[in-house]
Amino acid sequence: MQENMDRLQLQLKEDIDRAQDFQQLDNIRVRYLGKKGDITLLMRNMNQLSPEQRPVFGKRLNELKNTAETMLEQRKKELYGELSVKRWESERVDVTLPGKPFNPGRKHLITVVLQEIEEIFTCMGFKIAEGPEVELDYYNFEALNMPKDHPARDMQDSFYINREILLRTHTSPVEVRTMQAQAPELPVRIISPGKVYRRDDDITHSPMFHQVEGLVVDKGITLADLKGTLLLFAREMFGKDRDIRLRPSFFPFTEPSAEVDISCIACDGKGCRICGGTGWLEILGSGMTHPRVLEISGYNPEEVTGYAFGMGVERIAMLKYGIDDIRLFYTNDLRMLSQY
Amino acid sequence: MKVPYNWLREYVDIPYSPEELAHRLTMAGIEVGSVQVFAPLGENFVAGKIGALSLHPNAQNLQVVTVNTGNGLLNIVCGAWNIKKGDMVPLALPGAVLPGGKEIRTAEIKGVSSPGMLCSAGELGLDIVQEEEGILILNEGCSPGTRLTDILFINEPVLELDLTPNRSDCLGLLGVAREVAAQTGGKIKISAVEVEERGRDIRELTSVEILDPELCPRYTARIMEGFKIAPSPLNMQLRLLSVGIRAIYNLVDVTNYLMWETGFPMHAFDYDKLEKGRIIVRRAHPGEEMVTLDGVTRTLDPEVLVIADARVPVGLAGVMGGEYTEITTATTRLLLEAACFNPVNIRKTARKMNLPSEASQRYEKGVDPEAAIFAQNRAVRLIQETAGGEICRGIIDNYPRPYRVPRIDLRVKKVEEVLGYDVSEREITGILEGLGLEVEAGSPPAVSSPRSNPAGAIYKVEVPSFRRDLYEEIDLIEEIARIKGFEKIPLTLPVGVLTSGRPSRERRVLDRIRDVLVGCGLQEIITFSFMNPRLFDELDLPPDDFRRNAIKLQNPLSEEQGVLRTTQIPNILQVMQYNFNRQVDNQLIFEIGKIFLPAETDSKLPLEKMLVSLALSGKMPQNDWQNTPKPLDYFYLKGILEALLNSLGIKEYRWEAGQLPFLHPTRGATLVVNDQEAGFIGALHPAALEKLQFRQDVYLAELSTEAFLNSVSLSPSFKPLPRYPSVLRDVAFTVPEKVNAGDIMQGLKECGGKLLEDIRLFDVYKGTQIPQGHLSLAFALTFRHSERTLKDDEIDEIQEAMEQFLHDKYAAILRKL
């Protein structure tokens, strides 16, 4: 019996060492430890032994069983290590192959810039006001202090539908409409973004372009407030190092009027090709709302004052993105648009 | 407006360099676009005095000239013959560089050394008029050796002003000089002109009658005789040239010179050609004709103001003179006009005749009526100086609408109210007086400090005629800010109640639409609001389609931009064409923009509607080494629209097959949202593809936001999460081909009731396993009860009901899977 067991242990070790995969190992387990396994059978035959022999053999047999299980487990671990290496090798991916192409769309660059401008002003509490793109001569010109035959009308050559109706040449008519709807309530604090139209077509003029105009009417609004607001805008839009400068100018609907320059974004005001050596870039027109415009719009210019400004979105986009031909915006070349 | 720096200095002292002057003017609102040097000439050009002349020993067409350079004598070889002993001429010494770039060196010319060159006007780059061709004769008194740049009005920095329309006063150098004086506190150097009159009284010679004083508020005339017509003095010619005017001869040059100096256009008539020597300012008779200076016969109408003699028009007032009365070398007497005309009328005439001129440009903006006499006197004096002659006694001044000096009340307090900073009373009066305005303290009298009197001081300000752009208080406030300098304005921010800047619901909906479409991989485009009406034909739009009724522009830039768009599709197709032509084959694009539909009457504004338009063509974007790319199709586009509707919270919608504009007859559908037509989707009609020469299918959709805006739910309410498991069932039906999948799904939904949570079509099959004329539709159905776990037999029951219903209604048969 003792001999038997010793032989069995030797045989078992030999078998286990020879097992090359989990299946073989499992077969070995069944052969020794299964229901009809060699060790199991020995254990079943214990009752044939004398009561004196039983505890001795029983102990020995249990040890054998434990040893068998340990050896099987041990070999399983070894096999696992050996097999994994093969498996990982067979499951290797080339991590440098390109990823799944996702092609998110893009907003048009003008939308991007327009939304950025809108965001800056709406965060300051400016409400967005909108109005018709095809407009009455009255709102586009007359109510803005440009009666018929006013020479300033020449500044903005317009597309007409008939004598009284035209494509708006600026978004200022929205300001008049807003004031007329709101007067005499205060404050008016709006921007009016949108498409505008002028009869011009070259590398700096497009027959359709976008403007954002702004208007604040309240008690005590001053030219200094205008300057402060525009500096804030310039720094949000073009970076915190920007300076602005106001130059007197002329618009029929504001007085005093000013052109607004920012320090050149390319050279920081030192003077370069972009700014024509001046160190400054013109970005918008502005001024104090003309008393007559306030009056026409239902406000008493003796009690309230206002400021207004207007900028071309394409101009801002061209400066910010270094684009030198306005017509590129409306060619809609997808190779260009997908850059932004 | 060109402003030569040194010419300007004749009227005012300028303590600045040309560049600094340009900067200061710009910062005061007189924008200087550029400063460029007129007739730049380098070193080594001097005046030389001709001494002995002798023939070149070896060449018959040359002579050797001894020239006094002030620093000795030089022998110069010269090929021109218009010079004589004693003439002062330009001499280029070795080292001088001609404007063309040629450098002068000592040269051997046919055996004679020539250490320099005598120059013609052309060689110096000067386009002037001379009595004789050849070497330029310097008729200015100067001594030999003087540098040319010290004698001639060349090397002149010229400021180019970009004037705003209100500052017509700066269309004359005197106006610019006043602006400079206002900044420097200097004085204008020119004063009244003494005129020596002789001979006959002008009233014996002519009369001026103004028939329409509204169009001609003032007309002045002088008559001169006995002058000699000749080229103007060299420096006068150079001055004119420096502002872009080519000299002709003295009489004309003087009027141009005066216009530049005073901003007042003048005109000279040949007096002897005026019928009865008379001037009548009147509207033209209907159909009346006249030949203008440019030789063109013009047909006139009563809108046109003319200067006529006793018989016919001799000039278009303020725009262009007539040919017949033009000054010629034969002219012996002239009538000089300095008049004011109605700006609007001049503008209309200049436009109608397409004759913009320096004169009309000034009249259109208005000239200073009070300057007429000054201009007359300056002109006749200058003519006398340059051409001799006598000035007839007297001046005719017909002035039916005299200038009235406006008196403006200026409240000191208002200045601060508008500008946002304090300007002292002394400063205010200083600035206004510096501009030539008269300021007097009005009532209530100025109290010692404006702060002790809420109303503050009030000034009465009188505006001279040369600043007619100033006529109300705000104009004066602007002048104060302008001269004080905008850089002095402090930086503040408006103070007041808070307001919300949040975008409106409609804008937020549009933003969401844009975000969803961009997220679906579409590129936004923006096209013009105009379109080419011919595209309607190309796209075979039915003649009665409402889109054809597009609003026409009266003055489009071109036929391609002739009408306002009534759909965005044609412009989008053009964008696709552009990109196809540039090898961009995969295009997924959209535009959000307005269309314009006519109102019932012409006096009303058109209807503007916001559209969202999409177009796809090419391969699906999932195009990589793992997938064979599939072409984009109807269902790709429909899926995007479904995603869009879903993210807008729109639940109630359906697709109705139909024949639609632009679209393939059997591949198009109308989108119906809440029983309202909201737009269309489909494949572009094959005929249109062919016309556009597209080689691949295009899928289009166009939605009107108006139709579904009210159904949008931007913030849907929370639905509790399910607490019980769902049951999944796959079912397939064999259905006749004519039956729409949508109807089958609708049937399933109705039978499923609220236990049917979701329904997904996962296979459409047509082939051997299915009877001909049929196809198989396979659905994955998800059932769930919100309050308990569903039992199999409950679902079996529903499934049987589905089977029965679809069989009865659509002859659909359940397939055993």
- ipTM metric: 0.87
Residues B137 and B171 in one domain: no
CB B414 within 8 A of CB B473: yes
For residue B803, what are its two tokens? 């089977």
Within a domain: residue A158? yes
Query: Which DSSP category does B137 fall into?
Result: P
Within a domain: residue A100? no
pLDDT band at A284 (very low <50, low <70, confident <90, very high): very high
Within a domain: residue A104? no
Q: What is the pLDDT of residue A21?
A: 87
Residues B692 and B783 in one domain: no
Residues A69 and A128 in one domain: no
Average pLDDT over residues A330-334: 95
Of the partner residues B500, B554, B602, the one whose CB lies closest to the CB of residue A160: B554
Range of the domain at B103: 45-151
Residues B572 and B648 in one domain: yes
Contacts of A329 in chain B (CB under 8 A): 526
Residues B115 and B228 in one domain: no
Within a domain: residue B498? no
Within a domain: residue A188? yes
Q: Please give the Cα distance from A265 to A273 (Å, whole number).
A: 11
CATH of the domain at A182: 3.30.930.10
Residues A277 and A206 in one domain: yes
Q: What is the pLDDT of residue B708?
A: 93
Residues B314 and B390 in one domain: yes
- Total beta-carbon pairs less than 8 A apart between chain A and chain B: 246
Residues B226 and B346 in one domain: yes
Residues B243 and B357 in one domain: yes
Q: How many domains does chain A have?
A: 2
Residues B235 and B377 in one domain: yes
Residues A122 and A202 in one domain: yes
Q: What value does the CA radius of gyration of chain A take, rounded to a whole number of Å? A: 43
Q: What is the pLDDT of residue B43?
A: 85
**Hey, are the CB atoms on A105 and B588 less than 8 Å from each other?**
yes
> 3-state DSSP call for residue A57?
helix
CB B673 within 8 A of CB B646: no
Residue A154 clears pLDDT 70, i.e. is over it:
no
Residues A85 and A176 in one domain: no
Residues A283 and A327 in one domain: yes
Within a domain: residue A99? no
Q: Which residues of chain B have pLDDT under 70?
A: 140, 442-455, 817
Which positions ≥6 away from B328 have C-beta within 8 Å? Answer: B270
**Hey, are the CB atoms on B528 and A207 less than 8 Å from each other?**
yes
Shortest Cα–Cα distance, A128 to chain B (Å):
6
Range of the domain at A36: 2-90
Q: What is the pLDDT of residue B444?
A: 56
Residues A44 and A159 in one domain: no
**Hey, are the CB atoms on A159 and B554 less than 8 Å from each other?**
yes
Q: What is the pLDDT of residue A1?
A: 67
Residues A312 and A191 in one domain: yes
Residues A194 and A142 in one domain: yes
**Hey, are the CB atoms on B527 and A222 less than 8 Å from each other?**
no
Residues B430 and B512 in one domain: no
Average pLDDT over residues A2-19: 86
Residues A11 and A149 in one domain: no
Tell me the residue ranges of DSSP E strands in chain A: 127-128, 134-136, 165-167, 188-197, 208-218, 244-251, 254-263, 280-289, 305-312
Residue A196's nearest CA partner among A212, A175, A180, A181 is A212
Q: Please give the Cα distance from B554 to A157 (Å, whole number).
A: 13
Query: Which chain A residue has the Cα nearest residue B553?
Result: A161
Shortest Cα–Cα distance, B124 to chain A (Å):
29
Residue A319 clears pLDDT 70, i.e. is over it:
yes
Residue A215's nearest CA partner among A137, A121, A116, A152 is A121
Q: What is the pLDDT of residue B628?
A: 85
Residues B578 and B509 in one domain: yes
Interface test with B, best of A93, A100, A102, A107 (most B CBs within 10 A): A107
Cα–Cα separations (whole angstroms), residue A293 to A151, A285, A301, B408, B417: 17, 17, 9, 20, 17
Q: What is the pLDDT of residue B449?
A: 46
Query: Which chain A residue has the Cα nearest residue B361?
Result: A151
**Hey, are the CB atoms on B418 and A124 less than 8 Å from each other?**
no
Residues B222 and B351 in one domain: yes
Residues A182 and A306 in one domain: yes
Within a domain: residue A233? yes
**Hey, are the CB atoms on B501 and A123 less than 8 Å from each other?**
yes
Measure CA B159 to chain center. 22
Contacts of B474 in chain A (CB under 8 A): 255-256, 288, 290-291
**Hey, are the CB atoms on A247 and B31 less than 8 Å from each other?**
yes
**Hey, are the CB atoms on B494 and A208 less than 8 Å from each other?**
no
